[in-house]
Each structure stands twice: as C-alpha cells, then as structure tokens.
Copies of this chain bind each other. A is one copy, B any other.
C-alpha cells in the first residue's frame, strides 16, 4: 500500500507505494484512510528529536477514513491509563513506535473510533484529532477557561494555537494572541480576536499590558524567554498552561510573582479519552471548522513537510490519501 515510512535520522522518511501492510494486534480494527494531517511531532521525529525512534514505521498521528462503511475519526492516543490527570507510562500515539496514519490502511483499537463530525469534510476532519485534543485539554481541562475570561494564546499561527483560538472564541472568552508577522496579525484579527501583538517587538509584553491589560488565562507552547513575561501578564488567580517548549528552558521565573498573585502554572500534553470525546462534542456543538493552510497528496509528503517548516504557515497541513 501507499505509505510514508520513517527510515532513520539520517534519511528521514520516504514515500513508498508498495509498503507491506503490517499485521495489527488482535483488538485493533482497520480503517481505510481518506486523509491525514501533519503535526510538529512528525517533524520532531524526522529530525531525530523524539524518543524511542525505530526504523520502518509508518508516520502520522492524525487522520480520518472509512470503517464498516461509515466515515470516522479516531483518537490517536493509545493506553492513556486510568488517571485522567496524566498519561500512563504505556501511553503512545499513532505514528511512532506504532504504525501511523500516512498510509492507506490504519489499525487502531476499536474503542478509539468515533463518527466523523458531519459538518466537516474528510480534509477538514483529518486536521482535527491531535491538535484539537491538545488544544481542548490545555484550554478547558487544564486551564478551566470560562466565558467572559480574557485568554492570551501565544504563537497564534500554529496548528494547536489556532484550535485554542477557535475554541476560546466559541466558548465566549475574550481572546488575544501573539504572533510573528503583520500578515498573521491581520488574519488573526479577522478571526475575531480582540488584540494581537508581534512577539518580535522587544517590548511586546509591555505593549500588550498597556493596551489590553492583564489576562486570566495564558496558553503557551514556546517557553524560553517569553515564559516569565507571560506569567507577569496574568491577573491574580490566573492560570498559564504550557503544552510545548520550542524555545527551550526558561529563566527569570519569579516565585514572588507566582505566590503573591496566587497563580497556577500547569503542564498539558495531548489528552485523555474523555478529553477527546469532549473535544469532538464541542466541535460539533459549535460547528468548528479547522483552519487549513494547504492540502497535498500523500505522494508530496516532502513538500508538505517543507511547508510545515516554513515560518509563515498558518493552520494545518493536510495530506489526501484516497
């Protein structure tokens, strides 16, 4: 079958038209794939930055397809475990070390399958699972965002960040963002954000607070130098959720700011089966349509990755399969 298969850190992944379909575990079912979508995780794997890499594994976590004649999406997470607060040591997601979604037939546990939201076509639905799950857990399960609260979502052009923005707007929150270009600022403001600042400006944090005041919730995936600035932007009792650290470790964290304002800093990654169910329900209730940057055929995987790596992409990059 057609598949994008990881070879090694040196050689990355290759598109293969004759990949031998792997056997699935007994309690797994097989889905005929229609579309898939890229995540930063796939790029981390290609760059050798993900733990437990193995050769000859089909990449890809996101996707949708047909199971027993009906259109389905599926939770990419396997073995979350018993505790909703954190994943078990056995938790993993499709696309390493288990075969993933960049292929014609995917095997997943039967309990991971859900009916595709009817307002989304296959291309849109493929963009939803992992990024939507990550956004939902960060925003609602972990930050507890409520209608009327002010939320600042950093890096507004990214896949997860855009879901955070769409979900937050749909929930009735007042939504703000940071981003790296004038073009993205304009696009975000058109989506209904109340304010967007450019994080390349040296005093973006002071600009933000003088124009928009402080916020109740921050969702961040960058870490690095921005982290303590984002903490400073929180109202008393406020919550920052981090779900990524693309800019690395953070310095200058002030315990005084954290304790005096009774702040909460929480980590979040992916989400539990219940988060996935709640996310799908929210998407259907609010008729959320994922923001898609561009659609490539599976055979153009290399061009799709190049697009993911470009700084000016805005939204999810989708791969069509059949």
The answer to the question of A267 belonging to the interface, with a C-beta cut-off of 8 Å to chain B, is: yes
Fill in one digit per residue for A258-297: 1 if any B CB lies within 8 Å of its CB, else 0: 1111111111110000000000000000000000000000
> When chains A and B are docked, how far (Å) is the Cα of A255 from the Cα of B86?
16
Among B236, B245, B249, B264, contact of A265 (Cβ-Cβ < 8 Å)? B264
* B contact residues around A260 at 8 Å (CB): 267, 269
B245 x A87 contact (CB < 8 A): no
Q: Determine how many copies of this chain the complex contains.
A: 2
The answer to the question of A253 belonging to the interface, with a C-beta cut-off of 8 Å to chain B, is: yes
A245 x B237 contact (CB < 8 A): no
Chain B: minimal CB distance from A151 (Å): 17
The contact sample of 8 A-B pairs, CB cut-off 8 A, is A86-B237, A223-B254, A243-B259, A244-B255, A250-B254, A251-B251, A261-B267, A265-B265
Could you list which residues of chain A lie within 8 angstroms of chain B, going by C-beta atoms?
Answer: 83, 85-87, 142, 220, 222-223, 227, 236-237, 242-245, 249-269
> When chains A and B are docked, how far (Å) is the Cα of A122 from the Cα of B174?
52
B254 x A258 contact (CB < 8 A): no
A255 x B245 contact (CB < 8 A): yes
B227 x A262 contact (CB < 8 A): no
B266 x A236 contact (CB < 8 A): no
* B contact residues around A85 at 8 Å (CB): 236-237, 262
Among B222, B242, B259, contact of A242 (Cβ-Cβ < 8 Å)? B259
> When chains A and B are docked, how far (Å) is the Cα of A253 from the Cα of B227?
9
> When chains A and B are docked, how far (Å) is the Cα of A222 from the Cα of B258?
13
* B contact residues around A244 at 8 Å (CB): 255, 259
> When chains A and B are docked, how far (Å) is the Cα of A259 from the Cα of B265?
10
Among B87, B236, B253, B257, contact of A236 (Cβ-Cβ < 8 Å)? B87
In this complex, what residue of B is CB-closest to A250? Answer: B253
* B contact residues around A236 at 8 Å (CB): 85-87
Chain B: minimal CB distance from A80 (Å): 11
* B contact residues around A268 at 8 Å (CB): 259, 262
A249 x B253 contact (CB < 8 A): yes
* B contact residues around A265 at 8 Å (CB): 258, 264-266
> When chains A and B are docked, how far (Å) is the Cα of A5 from the Cα of B220?
47
In this complex, what residue of B is CB-closest to A266? Answer: B264
A263 x B262 contact (CB < 8 A): no
> When chains A and B are docked, how far (Å) is the Cα of A315 from the Cα of B223?
38
Among B251, B254, B264, B267, contact of A259 (Cβ-Cβ < 8 Å)? B267
B255 x A259 contact (CB < 8 A): no
Among B83, B243, B258, B269, contact of A267 (Cβ-Cβ < 8 Å)? B258
Chain B: minimal CB distance from A86 (Å): 4
Chain B: minimal CB distance from A264 (Å): 5
A264-B264 CB under 8 A given contacts A236-B87, A249-B255: yes
* B contact residues around A87 at 8 Å (CB): 236, 262
> When chains A and B are docked, how far (Å) is the Cα of A236 from the Cα of B262?
22
Chain B: minimal CB distance from A215 (Å): 14
Chain B: minimal CB distance from A246 (Å): 9
In this complex, what residue of B is CB-closest to A252? Answer: B249
